[in-house]
Amino acid sequence: MFQTPARRSQLSQILSIGDLIYHSIVHNVRKSHKNALIGLLLNILQTIIFVAAFYMMYQIFGIRRVQIRGDFMVYLFTGVFLFMAHAKAIGAVVRADGPTSSMMKHGPLNTLVTISASALSTLYLQIVSLVTVLFLYNLIFHTVQIDDPIGAFGCLLLAWFSGVAVGVIFLSIKPWWPTFAGIASTVYSRANMVGSGKMFVANTLSPKMLAIFSWNPLFHTIDQARGFVFINYNPHNSSFMYPFYVSMALLVIGMMAEFFTRKNASVSWDAGR
């Protein structure tokens, strides 16, 4: 009944939070299927289907050649992989347990742990899916040549990070307007199917068309990734730092809003819904 709180060092607290995040990541990875391996294979299959769908769409519309000299499938990969990392990160963060969740009754758990676990679990799944698809393509079809793998991987992380930042914004307003947050996040992800510009080469767009896409951080990230992947493509109409600055600003705003929500949230909010 009576407990004496034990004084723990800062390192001990960091290790405890890290342990919580690790177990939460494992739990999130196994959510899609009780067998973790099958859940991973399903995510890989979804990536393959997505790439195949875009390839068929290009074939149907007769857009077989692009303005970048290189492997056409690698051109598709640069758009699809980054788009999926961005969209999956948004969905995972929005679905993370919020301050009104019953899981928050467990003392050590907090929203920072659930957000971090959801974001890192989807990053893990996307990296494994990317490596698997590239390995299969390299083994079955053509050798995959990437001019700057580190820069291309950095763009993947940036696409994921921007998705996390946008997801935190939606998560912070979810306890207040759950229906709106769900619909808005879905609409944003669907709009990025075109708004991300993964089907276009930024250097070939007119100023009017460029103005339509240049607001989107994912558009800049995908175009910069193609600059790292293809040796003969130098992106002039996009910036690597713009999506980073926008993502940092969104993350700070989202965490401030989430902190306010956490302090004012009540479990009874869900009683009347």
Domain total in the chain: 1
Residue 181 falls within a domain, yes or no? yes
In this prediction, residues 180-187 reach a mean pLDDT of 87
Residue 33 falls within a domain, yes or no? yes
Kindly report the pTM of this predicted structure. 0.86
Amino acid 98: pLDDT: 66
Tell me the pLDDT tens digit for each residue of 239-255.
889 999 999 999 999 98
Residue 230, amino acid: F
In this prediction, residues 93-116 reach a mean pLDDT of 71
Residue numbers of the domain that contains 108: 17-266
Residue 4 falls within a domain, yes or no? no
Place of tokens 């896409």: 213
Residue 231 falls within a domain, yes or no? yes
Measured distance CA(63)–CA(180) in Å, rounded: 37
Tell me the pLDDT tens digit for each residue of 57-101.
777 766 655 667 777 888 888 888 999 999 999 988 888 776 666
Amino acid 1: pLDDT: 41
Residue 273 falls within a domain, yes or no? no
- 120 within 8 A of 126, measured Cβ to Cβ: no
Residue 7 falls within a domain, yes or no? no
Measured distance CA(60)–CA(128) in Å, rounded: 30
Residue 204 falls within a domain, yes or no? yes
Residue 6 falls within a domain, yes or no? no
